[in-house]
Amino acid sequence: MGRMQMELHTGIELAVEMVQQRSLPDLLRTATKQLETAFGLTRCWALELDISGRLLHCADLAAQGEFDCSDFSHPFSHILQTGKPRELTRAASYRLDYPGFQALFEASDRPRSLWLEPLKGTDGRTLGILVMCRDGGDWDGIVGQPLYRGLKELLTLQWVARLQSRDDGWQRRLLKRSLDQLNDSETLRQRSEQLSRTLVGNSLAMNQLRAQIVRAAGSQLSVLVQGETGCGKDVVARGIHDLSERSNGPLIIVNCAAIPDTLLESELFGHTKGAFSGADQNKEGLLAQANGGTLFLDEIGDMPMALQSKLLRVLESRQFRLLGASQEQHSDFRLVAATHQPLQHGIEQGCFRRDLFYRLSQFPLRVIPLRERPEDLEALSRYFIRLYKEREGAGPQGISSHALHALARYEFPGNVRELRNIIELACLQTPVGDDIQPELLRLEDPFCVSDTGISTKIEPKTMVGVPTSNDIRDLKAAAQAFEAAVIRERLQQYGGNRAQAAESLGLPKRTLAHKCLKYQVSES
Ligand SMILES: Nc1ncnc2c1ncn2[C@@H]1O[C@H](COP(=O)(O)OP(=O)(O)OP(=O)(O)O)[C@@H](O)[C@H]1O
């Protein structure tokens, strides 16, 4: 084979190897090795200019292979600035104290001569710098060779192609990420909108709460909803269930305050026949019923300590045992708990387990009181008017701006529940088709004494069975008598309707039922 043929053969072999490299680092590594072998170099490096054009990288030098292009204490900034190749002698190299350059010089065994050549793509864009090292001089004898020029051209072409595919991949990833983000925010928007049909309010706090509910619903974390009585914790818990992937499963609601302590455990865990006196048949507990769905433990702060420990165990393993049974059972439920009491206080008092608190509040949510979000009053009022009209078939047209102003001045100790009662009562008294006017809004706390010093609604002294303050010898008994009297009176006021009486007192229905049982108060 003649010399020309040999060169052609070598050139083709090298070219084939170079085009096979899929990534830029592999291409640069292969090309520099080829140049070393083909031209007897002691070392060859390829420095890559980053996308900002401010840094040159040499992957093989690791941490030291970074060259700031605005620093002229290494030779590469000059090369980039002039765009021309040049030779650098060993003596000159010693004088350049840039640490990265000294590392490169050292790793090249301090050659007698270095050839620095900028590499450009066909579009004129600078790709980087080729650094060739050898102990002889005569660089023209190398860079003038067709094989060198051919390899260099192929290297730059492949370099551009690799950058292009890296850019394309990067663009694709960027596009995918923005599409994902768009999808996420679109889903978030749609779900928040769906939720705004039942969890009404346009305030910033409500918008943020809805967004958090959507997020909580998308996870399996236990959610603790905290907020004053009547502010919408129950609505939040239902929202979490409805928006979760468990929405087709059951939503089991347990009001821990409404079930006597002695019954709560068997209600939750269930029992076998004969487990205790009165257990005349097997009974499935609420934990088992919540399988595949959501268990909502309302008023969790009222759960007895002994039961808290058992609940903690269930939450950790989702395993539990029916009272009286020897076998464990499994239930796959998501827990949502709610409380109007600050649990922190319970923890300090030693009546709420700290570890349970942390287990419950994996995703904490707080519903702020209505008085702190007056922007929600109008939307909520119109929502309750609409519900009233749907239920009764007719009702007021809307609510006057004066009435809305009056609402805005009120504190709402009973929160949204109280607003609902006020609006419903006003609906009843407003002529069909008119707007609710301020004088029809019963804006007073029934337990408050008015400016005249006369109690506006309830006068404990006149209540049957309630001792006057001078006669009180046992405060607890007197307070209970008062509570019983208020409930009795409220039931009378609402014609025995427990749901309305409970709403008007800011109590869950089951709590009222429990209190009626405790105080022997009947509807009649
Ligand atoms: N943002 C809201 N949008 C629509 N209705 C609401 C909203 N907040 C509360 N309500 C309504 O107010 C009443 C009381 O709400 P809810 O029962 O959820 O309060 P709660 O915080 O759970 O009260 P409690 O502490 O007494 O259990 C319900 O009739 C509920 O539908």
Q: Kindly state whether residue 235 falls inside one of the protein's structural domains.
A: yes
Mutate to test the pocket of ligand 1, among 223, 339, 416 (most ligand atoms within 8 A of CB): 416
DSSP characters over 224-285: EEE--TTSSHHHHHHHHHHHSTTTTS-EEEEETTTS-HHHHHHHHHEE-TTSSTT--S-EE-
Cα 493 to averaged position of ligand 1 atoms, centre (Å): 22
Give dist(CA 463, CA 482) in Å, integer: 8
- Indicate if 321 and 382 belong to the same structural domain: no
pLDDT at residue number 87: 95
Locate tokens 């347990």: which residue?
254
CATH number of the structural domain spanning residue 424: 1.10.8.60
The answer to whether the CB of 416 is under 6 A from ligand 1 is yes
The length of the chain in residues reads: 524
Q: How far is CA 297 from CA 240, 241, 285, 294, 340, in A?
A: 13, 13, 14, 10, 12
Question: Which of 231, 256, 380 should be mutated for ligand 1, with most atoms under 8 A from CB?
Answer: 231
The pairing of strands 283-284 and 270-271 is antiparallel
Task: Render pLDDT for 207-224 as a digit per residue (tens, 0 to 9).
Answer: 999 999 999 999 989 999
Q: How confident is the model at residue 355 (pLDDT cuts 50, 70, 90)?
A: very high
CA atoms within 13 A on the CB side of 433: 0
How many Å apart are CA 52 and CA 384, to the nearest integer?
59
DSSP letter string, 142-173: HHTSHHHHHHHHHHHHHHHHHHHHHHHHHHHH
Backbone phi, psi, residue 55, to 5°:
-135, 140
Q: Are residues 137 and 245 in the same domain?
A: no
CATH of the domain at 469: 1.10.10.60
User: Which tens digit of pLDDT belongs to each residue from 441-458?
Assistant: 988 754 443 343 333 343
277 — pLDDT class (breaks 50, 70, 90): confident
What is the CATH number for 219?
A: 3.40.50.300
pLDDT for residue 1 is more than 60: no
Q: Are residues 415 and 497 in the same domain?
A: no
Residues 46 and 28: beta-carbon distance below 8 Å = yes
User: Is residue 452 a part of any domain in this protein?
Assistant: no
What pLDDT score does 459 carry? 41
pLDDT for the residue 463: 63
Q: Give the pLDDT band (50/70/90) at residue 465.
A: low
Q: How far apart are CA 24 and CA 158, in angstroms?
A: 8
Closest-CA residue to 167 (of 280, 13, 292, 50): 50
The structure tokens listed for 209 are 């709460």
Instruction: Locate the ligand 1 atom nearest the alpha carbon of residue 229 and give its number.
Output: 25
User: What confidence category does residue 22 fall into, taking pLDDT thresholds of 50, 70 and 90?
Assistant: confident
Among residues 347, 368, 389, which one ends one of the domains?
A: 368
Does residue 393 share a domain with residue 326?
Answer: no
Q: Is the minimum distance from the CB of 199 to ligand 1 under 6 angstroms?
A: yes
- The response to whether residue 210 sits with its C-beta less than 6 Å from ligand 1 reads no
Is 242 a residue whose pLDDT tops 50? Answer: yes
Q: In b/e form, how buried is each residue of 271-284, taking b as 16+ CB within 10 angstroms?
A: bbeebeeebeeebe
Q: What is the CATH number of the domain that holds 164?
A: 3.30.450.40
Same domain, 157 and 278: no
Asked if residue 91 is part of any domain, the answer here is yes
Q: What is the per-residue pLDDT for 174?
A: 72
Q: Is ligand 1 within 6 A of the CB of residue 420?
A: yes
Are residues 157 and 34 part of one domain?
A: yes
Residue 367 CA: nearest ligand 1 atom is 21
CA of 225 from ligand 1 middle (Å) equals: 12
Residues 6+ apart with CB under 8 A from 219: 363
In this model, does residue 5 exceed pLDDT 80? no
- Using CB atoms within 10 A of its CB, is residue 96 exposed (0-12), middle (13-18) or buried (19+)? middle
User: Are residue 396 and residue 296 in the same domain, yes or no?
Assistant: no
Q: What is the pLDDT of residues 118-176, one digit of tens each?
A: 999 887 889 999 999 999 878 999 999 888 998 999 999 999 988 888 777 777 777 77
Q: In the predicted model, what is the mean pLDDT of the chain?
A: 87
Residues 73 and 41 in one domain: yes
Amino acid at residue number 143? V
Ligand 1 atom closest to the Cα of residue 508 is 26
Please work out whether the CB of residue 232 comes within 6 Å of at least one atom of ligand 1. Answer: yes
What is the whole-number distance in angstroms between the Cα of residue 509 and the centre of ligand 1? 13
The H or E element containing residue 486 is helix 475-493
User: pLDDT value at position 177?
Assistant: 76
The domain in which residue 127 lies consists of: 3-168
Q: Is there an atom of ligand 1 within 6 Å of 298 CB?
A: yes
Q: Are residues 21 and 137 in the same domain?
A: yes
Q: Whose CA is nearest to atom 12 of ligand 1?
A: 417
Q: Are residues 112 and 162 in the same domain?
A: yes
Output the pLDDT for position 27. 93
Amino acid at the residue 379: A
Task: List, for residues 44-76, the tens digit of each pLDDT value.
Answer: 999 999 877 889 999 888 778 889 998 999 999
- Which is more confidently placed, 64 or 295? 295
In a domain, 381, yes or no: yes
Q: What is the pLDDT of residues 397-412, one digit of tens each?
A: 999 999 999 999 999 9
pLDDT 10s digits, 163-205: 888 777 777 777 777 777 767 778 888 999 999 999 999 999 9
Please check whether residue 466 lies inside any domain of the structure: yes
Asked if residue 493 lies in contact with residue 502, where contact means CB atoms within 8 angstroms, the answer is: no
Number of domains in the chain: 4
504 close to ligand 1 (CB < 6 Angstrom):
no
Q: Is the CB of 235 under 6 A from ligand 1?
A: yes
Domain presence at residue 515: yes
The rounded distance, in Å, linking the Cα atoms of 195 and 210 is 7
Q: Is residue 153 part of a domain?
A: yes
On whether residue 173 sits in a domain, the answer given is: no
Higher pLDDT, 465 or 385: 385
In the predicted model, is pLDDT for residue 96 greater than 60? yes
For residues 279 and 359, membership in a common domain is answered with: yes
Q: How far is the CA of 12 from the centre of ligand 1 (A)?
A: 79
Same domain, 41 and 126: yes
